[in-house]
């Protein structure tokens, strides 16, 4: 298969598309033919040499991907060959094929394209674990999202609104705030032009918010 290889630590120019060996799957893993991957900040750190992959992880970049299952380990029961999925990886998304633990694979939500699904796992797992599993955001609460137009922010706005929360966001430009408004944000605050603490307290009658 082909993979994007880091030839030496440095900028984007050190990346090269090379022919490499196909990954071998373990009994609890599946093999995905990659349709798309995503760019995360950790990928840039790994490329410049400041974020080495964990022991046993793929040497190639890519912490999430989408694609079609090509092979399934004998201990994996939920998935089958031909399923279209997205996955959270410890590396290897910048390749034509990747092996991933069966428990790190997710179904593609209805209405989301196979290509777009490559950008879901990191934000979905981050927002769900921090906002709902740890902080237990509930319907009727007020939720403040800093950097609302970021990957994490845009996902957080949509899922918090879906769960019935009132969503306040901060961003640094009117263009970004307009995008957040389009996604469902109730109150959009330009932190460069006004005090978001004062505005948020004003909007909540002095009660404050659950902050992410």
Q: What is the pTM of this model?
A: 0.85
Q: Are strands 166-171 and 142-146 parallel, antiparallel or unpaired?
A: parallel
Average pLDDT of the segment spanning 109-125: 95
Average pLDDT of the segment spanning 140-160: 95
Read off the pLDDT of residues 60-102 as tens digits, 9 standing for 90 and up.
Answer: 999 999 999 999 999 999 999 999 999 999 999 999 999 999 9
Q: What is the CATH number of the domain that holds 81?
A: 3.90.180.10
Read off the pLDDT of residues 156-201 as tens digits, 9 standing for 90 and up.
Answer: 999 999 999 999 999 999 999 999 999 999 999 999 999 999 998 8
**Structural domain ending residue among the three candidates 98, 118, 138:** 118
**Structural domain ending residue among the three candidates 68, 103, 118:** 118
124-140 burial by CB neighbour count: b if 16+ within 10 A, else e? bebbeeebeeeeebeee
User: 53: domain range?
Assistant: 2-118
Quote the number of domains for the chain: 2
Average pLDDT of the segment spanning 22-34: 97
**Structural domain ending residue among the three candidates 83, 118, 153:** 118
SS3 170: strand
Same domain, 160 and 73: no
Same domain, 83 and 9: yes
Please determine, for residue 14, whether its predicted confidence score (pLDDT) is greater than 50: yes
Q: What is the CATH number of the domain that holds 203?
A: 3.40.50.720
């Amino acid at each position: 298969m082909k993979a994007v290889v880091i030839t030496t630590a440095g900028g984007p120019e050190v990346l090269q598309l090379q022919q490499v060996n196909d990954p071998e799957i373990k009994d609890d893993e599946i093999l995905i033919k990659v349709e798309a991957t995503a760019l995360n900040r950790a990928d840039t750190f790994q490329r410049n040499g400041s974020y080495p992959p964990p022991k046993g992880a793929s040497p190639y970049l890519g912490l999430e991907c989408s694609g079609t299952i090509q092979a399934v380990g004998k201990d994996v029961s939920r998935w089958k060959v031909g399923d279209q999925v997205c996955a959270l990886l410890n590396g290897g998304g910048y390749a034509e094929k990747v092996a991933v633990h069966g428990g790190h694979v997710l179904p593609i939500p209805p209405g989301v394209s196979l290509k777009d699904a490559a950008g879901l796992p990191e934000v979905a797992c981050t927002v769900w674990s921090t906002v709902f599993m740890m902080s237990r955001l509930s319907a009727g609460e007020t939720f403040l999202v800093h950097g609302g137009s970021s990957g994490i922010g845009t996902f957080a706005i949509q899922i918090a609104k879906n769960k019935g929360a009132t969503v306040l966001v901060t961003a640094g430009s009117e263009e970004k705030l307009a995008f957040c408004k389009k996604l469902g944000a109730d109150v959009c605050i330009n932190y460069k032009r006004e005090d978001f603490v004062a505005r948020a307290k004003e909007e909540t009658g002095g009660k404050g918010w659950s902050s992410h």
